[in-house]
Structure 1
Amino acid sequence: MNLQHLGWQPFFQQQLTLDDYEQAIVARVSAHHRSGYQLLTESEEVSLPMHDSLPAMTVGDWVLLDHQLQFQRCLERSSLFSRKAAGSKLAEQKIAANIDTVFIVMSLNDDFNLSRVERYLALTNEAQVEAVIVLTKADLCPDAQSLKQQVQSLDPMLLIETVNALDYDSVKALTPWCKTGKTVAFLGSSGVGKSTLVNTLLQEQTQQTGAIREDDSKGRHTTTGRTIHTMPSGGVLLDTPGMRELQLANVSQGLSETFAEIEELATQCRFSDCSHQNEPGCAIQKALQADQLDERRLNNYLKLQREQARNSASLAQLRSQDKQLGKMIRSVQNENRSRKNK
């Protein structure tokens, strides 16, 4: 295996110095556990125990090790996916790094949800990564073509593929994005068929799969960690667990791109601070009344705007508090050293 088979690209090559070429070993984070990180080099798999001196890394990161396999530094990322940690916990969770294409997976049964697709698109657009919508379980849906058209209506330029996750010939439609040197990631909610897709693309039973529940057509949550795999096509595949909750934060640009037509309308409102509710001269309300804008899409846009603003402000406040705490700790440490020196 060479570095290109792990997704190595010129962007990362340009960050190496002459000393790095002579003294460093390049590795990629292939898995992240509570106890540490698993890394892949050209020749072996390396375990890197968790330590306070390590930066916060995630699956897909590129790092440099010395010849004793000790951490030196993490390379600058070409892309990063993150979210607010699930639940009430106030923290940012890194999902994956250095991704070229994201397959947003949604099944064509009762899981079908346009608002969820928009949520994932906002995250993907913020990371400036190509998105492909992958619709699965068409065999369980009598109106698959109609639902596909609904997804396409979100953006006429949106790339969409409908596949049978169990059929390799069908899944081959995804291989143009899975060439050597490219890294792709699967995102989607639990039970939409991601693990089945992973197994089919890898042509082996790498991930556990589960049947859908009969009561609500929901799939079972089978993938429990983020892992990297190399594909027969030459690309790198990063699988992620299904996300029951994807709280957005710091994705204002991604939202602007995802809802570009709404933001364009907003520039035409009479008042710059228009809330797009009952104000006179609201271009968005005018478009709604003329059936030129879908009310569901507008409501989701406003909802995601509020969510990302709230979460971004909370995380910014947390970072400020952490910074102040760090200053206080360093101040105490410096004072203690001064006393010892006396």
Structure 2
Amino acid sequence: MQENNTNGASTLRQLGWIPFFQQQLSLDEWSDCQPVRVMAVHRSQLDVAGEHGEEPVLVSGALFEDALEKPTVGDWLLLDRQSRRPVRRLERSSLFRRMAPGARQAQLIAANIDNVLIVSSCNHDFNLSRIERYLALVREAGCRACLVLTKADLSDDHEQYIQALKKHRDLPLLLVNGLDPATLQPLRDYCRSGETVALLGSSGVGKSTLLNSLAGSELAATSGIREDDSKGRHTTRHRALYPIPDGGLLLDSPGMRELGLADVSEGLAAEFADIGKLAAACRFSDCAHESEPGCAVQAAIESGELDERRLRNWQKLEREVARNSKTLAETRADDRAFSQFVRKVVQEQARSRKGGE
């Protein structure tokens, strides 16, 4: 760490290197290894960046065998200074993952994110239930969040979207036109040097346009929306971090219409804290909030204090999280049992060979 120390340290800070990661290194690791950040993940290699610039790292070895432990975009790795092979992955400050459609395992999205821009558009693709799903994930990770409504230039009635988000007045809400730099200026507060920003939203809501506008160059491909339903096509093929000149790092990811939730009980409780508070006042502790007497939740719906859609979405997400968390637990148990079986077979084979000598 003696060579290019000043420039190297500056580069690492711009990539998001903070004391949280630095404190994880031993003295030997400081001498023998170099920290690098994963900028993109491909099928056979990672693109990483560190104090000496960018380089590829092959996806091979024990570090990549566990689906949940293998490096993802935003992770910090230690590379051996001589071989340039990854030694280990550093502990994460935050992690985003989802249950992939039809799978029994979670899929990693990104790690070590500081701020999240939850992007939706002022058209038919605006979906409040989907936004609540994103927020449950973000609140679980403990990241700073901002709600961003795009395509403001295509709508004459912005108030309907703003009113729909009134339950989230604890979060900043910005109305932007991705092609108008003046409307994007408030977003730059989330893109300061050394900070990592994720853009979450479904396909076609304008994430790639925002990325290009904030970066001042064409970093990501963009495409239009279908006129009949305002749905967008996937314009981003893989997750990647993009440096912003004089700013931080932006994560662009493929649009995710299906974002299965698992192991986000705290985030879900935080997002629907209003319903949790009402439920605590129900007459029965096991109230299902349907037709039970003394249900404070149903009373709030009748008075107009609570939207029934929000209750139904909370119930749906509660069931989904419970189901997916159970699936993950079962998968982990199966994996442990299989690993124990493999070790037992290997040990028995070793004993058998030793006995035959």
Counterpart position of 1:203: 216
Instruction: Report the AA paired with residue 315 of structure 2.
Output: L
Pick aligned residue for 2:86 from 54, 71, 88 = 71
Counterpart in the other structure of 1:219: 232
Contact 1:178–1:233 under 8 Å retained in 2? no
Measured after TM superposition, the shift of residue 116 of structure 1 is 0.8
Q: Deviations over 1:60-105 (max 9, x none)?
A: 000101112111111110000001012x121100100000000000
> Which one-letter code corresponds to 1:257 in the other structure?
A
Counterpart residue number, 1:53: 62
- Are 2:258 and 1:252 aligned? no
- Pairwise CA distance, 1:42: 1.6
Counterpart Cα distance in 2 of 1:232 and 1:163: 21
**Residue 25 of structure 1 corresponds to which residue in structure 2?**
34
The aligned amino acid for 1:15 is Q
Question: TM-score if structure 1 supplies the norm length?
Answer: 0.97
Q: How many aligned positions are there?
A: 340
The alignment status of 1:319 with 2:332, answered yes or no, reads yes
- 2:209 and 2:215 map into 1 onto residues whose CA distance is 10
Deviation at 1:211, TM superposition (A): 1.3
Aligned to 2:161: 147
Residue-by-residue CA offset, 1:212-244 (whole Å, 9 max, x unaligned): 112212222110100011112321111111012
Length-normalised TM-score, structure 2 = 0.93
Kindly provide the CA deviation profile for residues 115-160 of structure 1, in whole angstroms up to 9, marking residues without a partner as x.
1110000000011111111110011111113311321x12221111
Deviation string, structure 1 residues 196-225 (Cα, Å, up to 9, x no partner): 000001100111111111221222211010
Distance 2:24 2:298 in 1: 49
Mapped to 2, the partners of 1:164 and 1:307 lie a distance apart of 34
Q: Residues 266 and 284 of structure 1 are in contact (CA less than 8 Å); yes or no, is this contact kept in structure 2? A: yes
- Partner of 1:2: helix, strand, or coil? helix
1:75 and 1:264 map into 2 onto residues whose CA distance is 38
For 1:43, the aligned partner's letter is H
The equivalent of 1:36 in structure 2 is 45
In structure 2, which of residues 72, 91, 98 is the aligned counterpart of residue 83 of structure 1?
98
CA deviations 1:157-191 (Å, max 9, x no partner) are 11111111011222121011111111001000000
For 1:100 and 1:233, the matched residues in 2 are separated by 17
Structure 1 residue runs of 5 or longer lacking an equivalent are none
* Structure 1 equivalent of residue 18 of structure 2: 9
Q: Secondary structure at the match of 1:327?
A: helix
- Structure-1 separation of matches of 2:209 and 2:347: 55
Quick one: distance in 2 between partners of 1:174 and 1:233?
14
Distance in 2, Cα, partners of 1:235 & 1:45: 16
Tell me what 1:96 maps to.
Answer: 110
| Partner AA of 2:332 in structure 1 | R
Equivalent position of 1:106 in the other structure: 120
Residue identity matched to 2:112: N
Identify which range, 11-20 or 93-102, moves more after superposition. Answer: 11-20
Q: 1:231 aligns with which of 244, 248, 253?
A: 244
Structural RMSD (CA): 1.2
Deviates further, 69-78 or 51-60: 51-60
Offset at 1:52? Answer: 4.3
Aligned counterpart in structure 2 of residue 282 of structure 1, from 264, 272, 295: 295
Identity %: 51
Structure 1, 114-123 or 211-220: larger mean CA deviation = 211-220
* 8 Å CA contact 1:226, 1:239 repeated in 2: yes
